[in-house]
Structure 1
Amino acid sequence: MEQKIYSVTEVNTFLKEYIEAPEFLNNLYVTGEISNLTFNKSGHIYFSIKDEGATLKAMIWKTNADNLKRWKPANGMKVTVKGRFTFYVAGGSVSFEVRDVQLEGKGELQKLYDERYQWLEDNGWFDPSLKKPIPMFPTNIGIVTADSGAAIHDLITTIKRRFPIANIYLFPAQVQGEQARFDLAKKIVQANEFTQPLDVLVIGRGGGSYEDLWAFNEIEVLKAIRHSLIPVVSAVGHQPDYTLSDYVADLRAPTPTSAGEMVTPNILELKRNLQNYYLNYQEIITKKITEQENLIKRIIGRNALIVNNILDKKTLDLRQFYQTTNQLIKQILANQTQQLMHLNEQQMILDPLIPLQRGFSLVSEQNGKIISSTSNLKIGDPLTIKTKELLIEAAITKIQKENK
């Protein structure tokens, strides 16, 4: 007997009929805790319902969401939902279509969040007077986040684009899991004790579920932020929810990219502003000179007998005004030009990649830290060697001090 072969569409169509046909699956009640909550711009709501052992993907169509306006969903909320299973043939996926929601009280994490928030507020941790100002021109910027992923990439890219002369120091930390709270707090302390004083410190991560972001609600992290002598910007990339770190930090950024924009000036805007100042001063001088010339002409027309005395006096006044104003403008422009030249010189001096153009190599540890001392090196340590055209991965096979 020949074996029948089914297409994917046929199989998925069969599964759709099998899953959606039973009556008891069309009016099912499920209880659990909300997580991964997402509000679609079309009005639909997507989330997961979970308990200790499993997670179920769920969604609410816009029409039902509009009927549930009394309900304000939030991650961590304990609910009982009524709905039915639907099978998506094209994607081969099952989801639970919610038609009604009954609140069962808040989830344990949400309860703990609310309790901590209230304690922090009652004890003055959110007091605006505690907020340290963010410097306008930060030369040294510290970052506490995972050493890989979109967050660190977006931060560094934004900072380098807007203010390329800034030095960036990464303090890699776990941002998720049981040990994340201790590691984050430790790295914030290390940043404050770093040999190079930092002007601002950005902590955060990319987006994630309510549980993924929980480390930024832990007391260890909150204490480290509050006791930091460096202004701290919290950049946890999850816009619908605020972590407690967002409230305790000196400034909250909705995403890592916006954090990079908040802590840096735009060097192109600085140059444009300088040019505008120059043009404005030129316009003011030209206007003053024209006014004086017109005044002299009017005086000459009214009284030719005293024109010489008045002309001499006005000419002298005009020359003095011109000299004084011209000297002031030159001084302002010289100061602004010197500041820009100094910033550009700093960039050229501090950029570790410049010597590569002359044939030198840049040797760093695997975590990106440039090797300036050999005291901590040992056989087998991995190295990254960067030349003008190559990026070489190597390891130490021999250490020999050179006799001088």
Structure 2
Amino acid sequence: MEHTPLKVSDCIALINQTLEYAYPVVLVEGEVSSFKVNQGKYVFFDLKDETGTLNCFMTVYQLRTPLEDGMKVRVVAAPKLTQWGRFSLTVRDVQPVGEGSLKRSFELLRAKLEKEGLFAPERKRRLPVMPHRIGVVSSTQAAGYADFINILNARWGGLEVIVAHTLVQGISAPRQIVKAIEHFNQMAEPPEVIALIRGGGSADDLAAFNDEPLVRAIASSRVPIIVGVGHETDTSLADLVADVSAVTPTNAAQLLVPDQKDIERAVNDDVRQMLLLMQRHILAVRQHTDEVLGMSLRRIVRSYEYQVGRVSELSAVLRQLNPRAALNRGYAIVKNAQGLVIGSRAAPSIGETLSIETNKYFIEAGVTNVTKRN
């Protein structure tokens, strides 16, 4: 039976339909070579191993991590035969694999973002002192998530925790995490802080947190973000761009909320210190008051004693000036009939009757002779 020949374009279309049906997506691992970017939009590179080479194409907007020749990568791609008869992979995602490639990709992207100022301390914000509404981005099945929640509840219960469940490793993880951050930022009542957490793992496991769009999403978040990823020795680009970086998920919980027991102890210590200061102040005031009262009483006593002395002195003077005091010394008071004391103003007359008062007697006498002294 003779087959009807196909047109070239129909043959290409048939091959692509077959590829799309049999292999809609392939996961391929190899080494990057001939990497280049055309017109700032289109990325071309070859993926090769010891015996074969595949042409790869993608847009620069799909490139989530820096690439260079010699890197070992894993690509998610759709195989396709172009109209020019060239077989290629249309890449949907690419991730460095292997410690050397991951490290080099990390260094390239870090230098790029650092130059843009994304890691600058002055652009980072402080976390709220006591957040009551916390957004968490993590896998709810991860041990790091359980540690975070347990420590959070142990330190301060009754908090509102909103969880966005995402993958925390693998090719799909960065996109899911970015969507979760965007979701929290777009909420009518967004959380006061977002915690991005996962436990430790290998460099491949933590590669999602070195994803460029993810790092930029953290930097552009209106809500402050704390990142607690991996162990103490792990540092991702997400850690560098976060407002606060915690060494572990447990440490993230510790940095987010204070320990209620510590607060209670601190308050009790403050109250005791305040009472002690008040007691010392009251004692000091009492001592000062006693001193002031003592000084005042001594002044009053001295003033009283002085006044008593003055009264005694004046009384003695008055007694000395009392005319009757002279009677005790043998003198007499002589008055005329009008009761006037005979002296410079009242002169006696011959025949006049005078009254004489001595210390012991009242005497009446008649004047028989008056002689005026010179």
| Structure-2-length-normalised TM-score | 0.52
Determine helix, strand or coil for the equivalent of 2:136: strand
Question: Does residue 275 in structure 1 map to residue 271 in structure 2?
Answer: no
- CA spacing shift, 1:256–1:288, aligned 2, 3 Å: same
Q: Deviations over 1:333-359 (max 9, x none)?
A: xxxxxxxxxxxxxxxxxxxxxxxxxxx
CA RMSD of aligned residues (A): 2.6
Determine helix, strand or coil for the equivalent of 1:143: strand
C-alpha contact 1:299 1:307 (8 A) present in aligned 2: no
Report the counterpart of residue 130 of structure 1 in structure 2. Answer: 123
Q: Could you tell me how far apart the structure 1 residues matched to 2:99 and 2:257 are?
A: 40
Q: Could you tell me how far apart the structure 2 residues matched to 1:241 and 1:284 are?
A: 48
Q: Which has more radius of gyration?
A: 2
Between 1:273-282 and 1:205-214, the stretch displaced more is 273-282
Q: Deviations over 1:29-74 (max 9, x none)?
A: xxxxxxxxxxxxxxxxxxxxxxx99xxxxxxxxxxxxxxxxxxxxx
Report the counterpart of residue 258 of structure 2 in structure 1. Answer: 265
The aligned amino acid for 1:283 is L
Determine helix, strand or coil for the equivalent of 2:209: helix
Q: Could you tell me how far apart the structure 1 residues matched to 2:252 and 2:199 are?
A: 12
Q: CA deviation at 1:212?
A: 0.5
Report the counterpart of residue 256 of structure 1 in structure 2. Answer: 249
Q: CA deviation at 1:292?
A: 2.3
C-alpha contact 1:300 1:307 (8 A) present in aligned 2: no
Determine helix, strand or coil for the equivalent of 1:113: helix
The aligned amino acid for 1:255 is T
Report the counterpart of residue 298 of structure 1 in structure 2. Answer: 291
Q: Deviations over 1:294-333 (max 9, x none)?
A: 233334555634469xxxxxxxxxxxxxxxxxxxxxxxxx
Report the counterpart of residue 215 of structure 1 in structure 2. Answer: 208
- Corresponding residue pairs, total: 209
Determine helix, strand or coil for the equivalent of 1:192: helix
Q: Deviations over 1:249-293 (max 9, x none)?
A: 111111000000001112222222222222222112211221122
Q: Could you tell me how far apart the structure 1 residues matched to 2:187 and 2:290 are?
A: 68
Report the counterpart of residue 154 of structure 1 in structure 2. Answer: 147
The aligned amino acid for 1:287 is R
TM alignment of 1:303-382, pairs within 5 A: 304-306=297-299
TM alignment of 1:22-33, pairs within 5 A: none
Question: Does residue 200 in structure 1 map to residue 193 in structure 2?
Answer: yes
Q: Which of 170, 181, 186 matches 1:188?
A: 181
The aligned amino acid for 1:151 is G
Determine helix, strand or coil for the equivalent of 2:297: coil
- CA spacing shift, 1:274–1:215, aligned 2, 3 Å: same
Q: Deviations over 1:372-391 (max 9, x none)?
A: xxxxxxxxxxxxxxxxxxxx
- CA spacing shift, 1:288–1:256, aligned 2, 3 Å: same
Q: Could you tell me how far apart the structure 2 residues matched to 1:307 and 1:208 are?
A: 87
Q: Deviations over 1:138-164 (max 9, x none)?
A: 010111011112111011111111111
- CA spacing shift, 1:305–1:195, aligned 2, 3 Å: same
Question: Does residue 230 in structure 1 map to residue 223 in structure 2?
Answer: yes
Q: Could you tell me how far apart the structure 1 residues matched to 2:285 and 2:99 are?
A: 76
Report the counterpart of residue 288 of structure 1 in structure 2. Answer: 281
Report the counterpart of residue 39 of structure 1 in structure 2. Answer: none
Report the counterpart of residue 174 of structure 1 in structure 2. Answer: 167
Report the counterpart of residue 158 of structure 2 in structure 1. Answer: 165
- CA spacing shift, 1:307–1:271, aligned 2, 3 Å: farther
C-alpha contact 2:145 2:197 (8 A) present in aligned 1: no
C-alpha contact 1:216 1:222 (8 A) present in aligned 2: yes
Determine helix, strand or coil for the equivalent of 1:201: strand
Determine helix, strand or coil for the equivalent of 1:292: helix
Q: Could you tell me how far apart the structure 2 residues matched to 1:300 and 1:196 are?
A: 64
Q: Could you tell me how far apart the structure 2 residues matched to 1:162 and 1:278 are?
A: 22
The aligned amino acid for 2:260 is I
Q: Could you tell me how far apart the structure 2 residues matched to 1:125 and 1:226 are?
A: 7
Q: Could you tell me how far apart the structure 1 residues matched to 2:223 and 2:269 are?
A: 34
- CA spacing shift, 1:185–1:290, aligned 2, 3 Å: same
| Structure-1-length-normalised TM-score | 0.48
The aligned amino acid for 2:206 is L
Q: Could you tell me how far apart the structure 2 residues matched to 1:305 and 1:190 are?
A: 80
Q: Could you tell me how far apart the structure 2 residues matched to 1:197 and 1:276 are?
A: 36
TM alignment of 1:7-156, pairs within 5 A: 107-156=100-149
- CA spacing shift, 1:298–1:217, aligned 2, 3 Å: same
Q: Could you tell me how far apart the structure 1 residues matched to 2:223 and 2:290 are?
A: 62
The aligned amino acid for 1:126 is F
C-alpha contact 1:177 1:212 (8 A) present in aligned 2: yes
Q: Deviations over 1:109-133 (max 9, x none)?
A: 2111110010011110111111011
Report the counterpart of residue 401 of structure 1 in structure 2. Answer: none
- CA spacing shift, 1:307–1:161, aligned 2, 3 Å: farther
C-alpha contact 2:206 2:230 (8 A) present in aligned 1: no
Q: CA deviation at 1:173?
A: 0.4
